[in-house]
Amino acid sequence: MLKGKVAVVTGGTRGIGYAIVKKYLENGAKVILFGSKAESVEKALASLKAENPAWEAEGAHPNLTDAKEVKAAIVAVKEKYGRIDILVNNAGISDSTKIDAYDAETFHQVMQLNVNAIFHAILPVSKIMKEQGGGCIINTSSMVSISGQPSGVAYPTSKFAVNGMTLSLARELGPYNIRVNAVAPGITKTDMVAALPGKIIDPMIAAIPLRRIGEPEDVANAFLFLASDMASYVTGEVLSVDGAMRS
């Protein structure tokens, strides 16, 4: 579904991002994954190579909160591959601090990675996509971007901002044949969620209409659809992949 496409995936070293990277490689894309550290990038690349030596994957670790570093990493991809067809802004941090325990720095850190970092990547990529005549950008939102959450106000605030950026840029970049969408996962079985004890996870599962936690692959499938030509007329959409747990 993505044969010959060049994709950049931030936060691609583990969890949902790693599942997206794998799904894109399985579907014929060349993938450049961005991670936070050289070691985690190397580990992810080694595990991908072990699965299929023919997959074309490489990695980088720009500090996503630094606009200059992100621009340099994006320009390097464009210089090497000649184009960027797909940008997935997936790196993100969660937060559950109660309001009385908050300080400005904690709030700022969440917004820096979950919102500003996306903007840092979209700035150079949208220019490249305009020049090449189109492309597609997909941001990772969350089900809490619809309902909020009872603590950690920075996290839902950041994901509401992701939806706002997605809808606005879909309008601004649509005339350049650039589609901009988001995926809003529910509780997804990444390492952190998988480690939770039954007494915490069981009530969560009971509250999900589909009665199970999402797998990273459930979410990656939505990223595949939105990146593919199957979604050629889909833009400005925030696609929930949460077993209907939002609300």
Please name the helix (run of DSSP H) or strand (run of DSSP E) that holds residue 38, with its range, or none.
helix 38-51
Beta carbon nearer to ligand NAD, 14 or 23: 14
Residue nearer to ligand NAD on the CB measure, 37 or 232:
37
Site for ligand NAD in 29-48 (CB under 6 A): 35-36, 40
CA distance 92 to 61: 14
Listed ranges 66-74, 129-137, 182-190, 231-239: which one lies at the site for ligand NAD (CB under 6 A): 182-190
3-class state of residue 68 by DSSP: helix
Tokens representing 114? 């979950």
Active-site residue, selected from the candidate residues 18, 24, 155, 176:
155
Extended strands (E) in the chain: 6-10, 30-34, 57-60, 86-89, 135-140, 178-185, 238-241
Q: Which is nearer to ligand NAD, 138 or 169 (CB)?
A: 138
Q: By the 8 A CB rule, do 26 and 51 touch? A: no
The nearest distance, CB 144 to ligand NAD, in angstroms, is 7
**Which residues from 101-140 bind ligand NAD, rule CB under 6 A?**
113, 140
Assign 135 to helix, strand or coil.
Answer: strand
Q: Which of 188, 228, 235, 240 binds ligand NAD (CB under 6 A)?
A: 188
Q: Does 185 bind ligand NAD (CB under 6 A)?
A: yes
What's the rounded Cα separation, in Å, for the pair 64 and 29? 23
Does residue 16 touch ligand NAD according to CB under 6 A? yes
Q: Which of 89, 182, 86, 172 is nearest to 132 (CA)?
A: 86
Stretch near ligand NAD under the rule CB under 6 A, chosen from 24-32, 78-86, 127-135, 190-198: 190-198
Tell me: does residue 59 bind ligand NAD (CB under 6 A): no
- Please confirm, yes or no, whether 24 is among the known catalytic residues: no
Residue from 27, 94, 97, 132 in contact with ligand NAD (CB under 6 A): 94
* Spatial CA neighbour of 144 closest among 242, 16, 243: 242
User: How many other CB atoms are there within 10 angstroms of residue 163's CB atom?
Assistant: 18
Catalytic residues: 155
Question: Contact residues for ligand NAD (CB under 6 A)?
Answer: 11, 13-17, 35-36, 40, 64, 90-94, 113, 140, 142, 185, 187-188, 190-191, 193
